[in-house]
Amino acid sequence: MGSWKSSVFILVLHFLEGALSDSLIKLNNNGYEDIVIAIDPSVPEDEALIQQIKDMVTEASPYLFEATEKRFYFKSVSILIPENWNAKPEYTKPKLETYKNADVVVEPNQLSTDEPYTEQFGKCGERGEKIHLTPDFLAGKALKQYGPQGRVFVHEWAHLQWGVFDEYNNEEKFYLSRGRPQAVRCSTDITGQYKTIKCQGGSCTVGPCRLNKLTGLYNKECVLIPQKQQIAKASIMFAQSIESVVGFCNEKNHNKEAPNLQNQKCNLRSTWEVISESEDFKKTTPMTTNPPKPTFSLLQIAQRVVCLVLDKSGSMASDNRLDRMNQAAKFFLLQTVEDRSWVGLVTFDGSAQVRSELVQIKSDADRDALTKHLPTVSSGGTSICSGLQSAFTVIKKKYPTDGSEIVLLTDGEDNTISMCFNMVKQSGAIIHTVALGPSAAAELEQLSQMTGGLQTYASDQAQNNGLIDAFGALSSGNGAIAQRSIQLESRGATLQNRQWMNGTVIVDDTVGKDTLFLITWTNQQPQIFLWDPSGTRQNGFVVDAASKMAYLQVPDIAKVGIWKYSLQASSQTLTLTVTSRASSATLPPITVTSKMNKDTGKFPSPMIVYANIHQGASPILGAQVTAVIESANGKTVTLELLDNGAGADATKNDGVYSRYFIAYDTNGRYSVKIWALGGINTVRQGTASRSNGALLVAGWIENGKIQLNPPRPANNKTEVQNKKVCFSRTSSGGSFVASHVPKAPIPDLFPPCQITDLRAKVQGYSVINLTWTAPGNDYDHGQAFKYIIRMSTNVLDLRDKFNASVQVNTTGLIPKKANSEEIFVFEPENIAFENGTNLFIAIKAVDKANLESEISNLAQVSLFIPPPPETPSPPDISVPSPNISINNTIPGLHILRIIWKWVGDLQLTLAHC
């Protein structure tokens, strides 16, 4: 890349930096504008739902205003109404608002619960993805469990906008503090009673909590039932349903000991501290007057209008670009774009040519007719603005440009592209960009960034199938999921001397409608063999010799199972793409959506790849997920993505697979592609409880009496509970732009990643068992050189003065390969560890270049020595377990260990009787 091109990329990066999500939200004079709340197309029409959304936001705004010390309120909201609802005069057409970039989605109850929750892929302080609500929640059918909808919305908004986490813990509801059990909560001023609740057959009973004599904690059925009347004002991230709670925990009242996600993810910082460090906070000052009520726009989705704007300039003759563009565009027209969409076609070189006015897709004949207008000859210069201007003219002949889409592909540079930026902004159209080859205009991404479109990049390496992947990713952002084209496979190879390209594709029971097998080549038609799961060879491929492609549309619903293919060719490149749609409008298909954590990578800052694999609301666990990242010079890197809750992955077993990318090799564009495969270890997880959502309060104590709330419903949809699933999917993750990459050799500036899942427990009264996931030498790749483990009885001293805290002897502790499970057992030395002591432990990993990771999450253990058993003392038992030293400063600890070993052995024996 020349120095001029590099400098242009650097300038463009300044425009793109900080673009972390598709959201349209803006903060204007303390008010959040352009919030998008979308009603899913599968929600039955109900006008009352629109008013309920308005009521929720209107109620939430003053609550948010007071909770943030008069800094923030909700100013304007757009409500997206499905196309299949009846039209009304007050409904207008959306511009850039789509279901894809919605901040809140209202969707049917799929897992027998109306629990509101927020998707969060990132770290503390990073914006979340979407808030999920159900119609029944908005209708007020969960008031007792979660509290008023407006308060719940503020809880979820804090997840979404500021990246804070919950201050309760459904999996670990109690912890030891100075030897006594405490409920996980914030603040500790919240009062209540500890009770055991057992429900069976629709009725629940309340009883006392029992202490576990091994741990000193209450039994797992025990919960805190809060007093209805409280004086505590915090915290919204614990239980906004408590009437007195009107604010977030701050530095003064934050419970730093509680084992919750907020402490684990945010390094013990309170929610208010995190909010105070946000860009929103830095841009505002408290208001002196009360804010106005929110305003609402009602926007109804209309039929899709899309215009292809394709480059046919002279440079498109290079590297088979024109042929490959036509193959990808034909694939889009034949398969990707949905029925009833309106499609136009414009080409450009030094000027623009209208190839087809808008045509509505009603039949296969309409699709075929559009493909006939694709360009066959390349020549001339590159005038991107003329192509865009012609597309707007084509669209305006039939519809306003608001909400329309343009797919812009170019391989060339155009130093006048910025002249049409204002025209694009004013159009209200969404621009999807496809950068082809190494010389596509550096400013191209600005068009997709300013309009909320998808940005993609395809190299000249045809075997990577980048162009078809890019066009395959352009399903409607507004259509029902059952209408969406889903890519099952995308492969390519360069074959020599009659070599074979063999493989399999899994068609699972969630897809099968409109299944298409597409094969492309670069020279001459290959031998094509395809067999369905019963072993029957499939004939009837339609061959388009001019476009160098062949395709087979499987009639009706494709057979479920493994399809096999074999392709044979010599001295050319072949690709195979398989797509399908949902087999039923009532059975959600398994989907893979992928993205990067940001659109720009500045060396040595790492990028993060995410792949979200779900079937409806159910996460898919145990899949094999691989990311292929291709740089501007054609080099590819493969990454195994993991859902292990370590390294780049925020939450274990949530269906979001993640990994750090650090293998930069050049400046410029990088494309991202995901392969996901489900096999014998893959399950569809039915779940009725999620992290990053509002706390379900089991009941209230009012006037001294316990009033139970309806429990969380049992998931009766057993067919989705832990069901094994086999499937194959591919997905385009778009593209990103890298800068400041030094010339080879690339220096090692990458430390090990932060350890985020450190856990500690006491065994044998003096021995501490630590577990964590191993980081790598470079973030989560390779193998670290050593660990530094330190401990303190003061949690803030450990966090803020790590290097001054007591160091643990780690002789013999050699780091394992990244993402392995680490176990380390030690006996505390040089520190008082007595009954009731809280001990805090943290780790840093160090690589071979002596680069240190960030300090890990802080693990906590409390020494609990139960009173002696009431039964007669057992006979003296000689030796303790091997590998555990009995040297300790605690008087009488040796005999206590012996007593406890005997009690444990007795309990074990009784359990087997």
DSSP assignment string, 341-376: -EEEEEEESSSEEEEEEEEE--SHHHHHHHHTTS--
Residue 66 falls in the annotated catalytic set: no
Q: Which of 59, 107, 119, 156 is catalytic?
A: 156
**Bond prior to 177 in cis (omega within 30° of 0):** no
Q: Which two tokens stand for residue 408?
A: 């812009």
**3-state SS string for 221-286:** CEEEEEECCCCCCECHHHHCCCCCCCECCCCCCCCCCCCCHHHHHCCCCCHHHHHHCCHHHHCCCC
**DSSP-derived pairing of the beta strands 618-621 and 607-615:** antiparallel
Which candidate, 789, 792, 791, 796, places its Cα nearest to that of 810?
789
Q: Distance between CA 578 and CA 515 in Å, rounded? A: 7
**3-state SS string for 696-708:** CCCEEEECCEEEE
Residues 6+ positions from 753 with CB-CB distance below 8 Å: 647, 648, 660, 775, 776, 779, 780, 845, 853
The backbone torsions φ and ψ at residue 554, rounded to the nearest 5 degrees and listed phi first, read -70, 125
The single residue listed with the structure tokens 């074959």 is 495
- With b meaning 16 or more CB within 10 Å and e meaning fewer, what string describes 396-434? eeebebbbbbbbbbbbbbbeebeebeeebeebbbbbbbb
**Cα 433-122-646 angle, rounded to 5 deg:** 120
Which residues, in sequence order, are bridge partners of residue 264?
none
**Cα 602-670-614 angle, rounded to 5 deg:** 100
Is the CB of residue 209 less than 8 Å from the CB of residue 195? yes
Q: Residues 535, 537, 538, 544: is their CA dihedral positive or negative? A: positive
Residues 6+ positions from 414 with CB-CB distance below 8 Å: 382, 383, 384, 385, 441
Please provide the distance, in angstroms rounded to a whole number, between the alpha carbons at the two ends of the chain: 76
Q: Residues 675, 677, 682, 684: is their CA dihedral positive or negative? A: positive
Is the CB of residue 466 less than 8 Å from the CB of residue 444? no
Element (H, E) at 909: helix 893-911
The backbone torsions φ and ψ at residue 492, rounded to the nearest 5 degrees and listed phi first, read -155, 160
Q: Distance between CA 513 and CA 55 in Å, rounded? A: 40
Q: Distance between CA 354 and CA 373 in Å, rounded? A: 10
3-state secondary structure of 407: strand
**DSSP-derived pairing of the beta strands 405-410 and 305-311:** parallel
Is the CB of residue 468 less than 8 Å from the CB of residue 573? no
Which candidate, 324, 727, 701, places its Cα nearest to that of 547?
324
What amino acid positions are annotated as catalytic residues?
A: 156
